[in-house]
Chain A
Amino acid sequence: MVLGEIATATVTAIFLSALYAIIAIGFTLIFGVGGILNFAHGAFITVGMFAGFLATSDAFLIALPIWAGLLAGTAAGALIGAVTYLGIIRYVRDRPVTILILTFVIGFFIIYAIRIGARDVFGVNDPLAIPVPQVMGTAFLNDVYIFVTSWLLIGLLFYFVNYTRTGRAIIAVSQSDKGAALVGIDAEKINLITWTVAGAFAGYAGVLLAGAFGNGSWLMSIQPPAPLILSFAIVILGGLGSIKGSIAGAYIIGFAETFTVNFVPGGEQLAGVSSLVLLVVFLLVKPEGLFGRGAGE
């Protein structure tokens, strides 16, 4: 009986962790390349969710299928990532504190815009419950879909970063901005690509997350499972800037949360806390994380 429960919890954790990995990957990519903690990451996820909602609802006359919603979410995430970099971040790239504050502010602007847009423009009754369908018909198949595409997309990202010319340039910029400039790499272009790809992942994750949890919300970046805080915890555990580390971090947190909920008395109340406890422990004991640094590693 206990074994059965453990097996069930393990499967749940594996699925949940895949979702967490895809939530965090954009955050780690931007940190890895530019050394920037993008606190607008949660807002990028929210943008993806909202684009998914717009595509799948009848907001624009025709309600499209969820596949179009996923595409819309991914595209909207990529767009908001690119616009944020081109419009703001590139002008303050050498000022980390300014960037930190600005990404916070940008994040707030975006989510408030979504709140107003949802309620006043698109007639959503409750911006805390914006309907986004899940991808597959059943929760189990939906989990399988998330698991498979999460690994597929992260695998593609890993291949792109490690085995393509642009990817090598991304790693070069992540290790030495000036070194990259010395060999003729246009850091500006590389940063733009990074923000666009990170935004695309965030947007895609936003649609998946909303679907998996029943609906989206303008406050979803800080509502359970709080993707912004989750991303932060995952990349601290894995090692800031490391793709492999982020996957490992996502799985550690996914397992910790699932097992806390299932096997600790009163665990349901503690789901979000376990990631924070792990975050604090790692910051104190192994601040460099499991995999140190390196965008592609």
Chain B
Amino acid sequence: MSTDADGDADIDAERAGETDAAGGEPDTVLEAEDLQVSYGKVTALRGLDVTITEGEIVSLIGPNGAGKTTFCNTASGFLGYDGSVRYRGREVARVGQTELVEEGMVHCTEERDLFGYMDVEDNLELGGYLQDEAVIEDRKEFVYELFPRLDERREQNARSMSGGEQQMLAIGRALMGDPDLLILDEPTLGLAPVILQDIAEALDPIVDRGVTVLLTEQNVTFALEHADRIYLLENGEAVREGTPEELKGDDYIRESYLGG
């Protein structure tokens, strides 16, 4: 079975139909089964299985090139794939990228993809493009409470901000979309420890608002501290899965990712 990002699918209709009708497990937010993604001849994901349930913070960890970003981009409808990835029981290739956002899957990319020539306020307001005015105001207040630095820089252009501030803005913009599932792709990459702390502290209030989080990280320590469950990806495959406690006790993880 294969599907394109734009929804021109030669999906196995029977299987997709079953899934739609069944709606998946009631508390399953995102589910990937035997997910395969290739860039030309290069295979990025090789039969990946991932399940994320309501209210969890699930982290995908692994080295550069493990397939973490590819998974995020596939789940949010930017890439075609083989196998299956379902959001709230619906095959994402059939939903379409814009509708996924409408349905509450909001992706904060590794590159941030901010509107660089717009100020903080405009970036946030556009983050709520599909929301009504009341939600926008409520969310904006929440974001400014979460990241007071953004509040201080409301009229500053995104491109003139530091990397850490841009990251806060990217997360803030994603929150404006009233997410049900928030995909945070490498939010701590290249950030100073003090900023990292700010972002870490933001996670709990986000989850408290009923948001499920998919967090990809190269910073294994960060993931172990904040995730409920973790998948270790290597070469496009999940080679370990478990709670942080389980993985901390895993010899391979300790030796390869936690410096022994």
Task: List the interface of chain A (C-beta within 8 A of B).
Answer: 165, 168-169, 171-172, 175-176, 178-186, 293-294, 297
Closest Cβ–Cβ distance, residue A242 to chain B (whole Å): 10
Q: Are A184 and B113 in contact (CB under 8 A)?
A: no
In the complex, identify which listed stretch (B27-35, B96-104, B141-149, B192-200) lies at the interface while the others stay far away.
B96-104
Q: Are B118 and A183 in contact (CB under 8 A)?
A: no
Q: Which residues of B contact A (CB under 8 A)?
A: 76, 78, 97-98, 101-102, 106-109, 111, 113-118, 122, 125-130, 173-174, 176-177
CB of A84, distance to nearest CB on chain B (Å): 21
Instruction: Collect the chain B residues with CB atoms within 8 Å of residue A168's CB.
Output: 122, 125-126, 129
Closest Cβ–Cβ distance, residue B24 to chain A (whole Å): 23
Identity of the chain B residue whose Cβ is nearest the Cβ of A184 in the assembled complex: B101
Task: Kindly state the separation between the CA atoms of A178 and B109 in the bound complex, as whole angstroms.
Answer: 9
- Residues of chain B within 8 A (CB-CB) of A171 are 115, 118
Bound form: Cα–Cα A178–B128 in Å: 15
Taken together as a complex, chains A and B put the C-alpha atoms of A175 and B126 apart, in Å, by 12
Q: Verify B129–A183 contact, CB threshold 8 A.
A: yes
A184 to B109, Cβ gap below 8 A?
no
Cα(A176)–Cα(B115), bound, Å: 6
Given contacts A168-B129, A183-B129, A183-B177, 19 further A-B contacts (CB under 8 A): A168-B126, A171-B115, A172-B115, A172-B126, A172-B129, A176-B114, A178-B78, A179-B114, A180-B126, A181-B98, A182-B174, A183-B101, A183-B126, A183-B173, A183-B176, A184-B129, A184-B130, A185-B129, A294-B117
Contact B117 A182 (CB under 8 A): no
B114 CB contacts on chain A under 8 angstroms: 176, 179
A184 and B117 contact, Cβ closer than 8 Å, known pairs A168-B126, A172-B126, A178-B109: no
The 8 Å CB contact of B98, one of A172, A176, A184, A297, is: A184
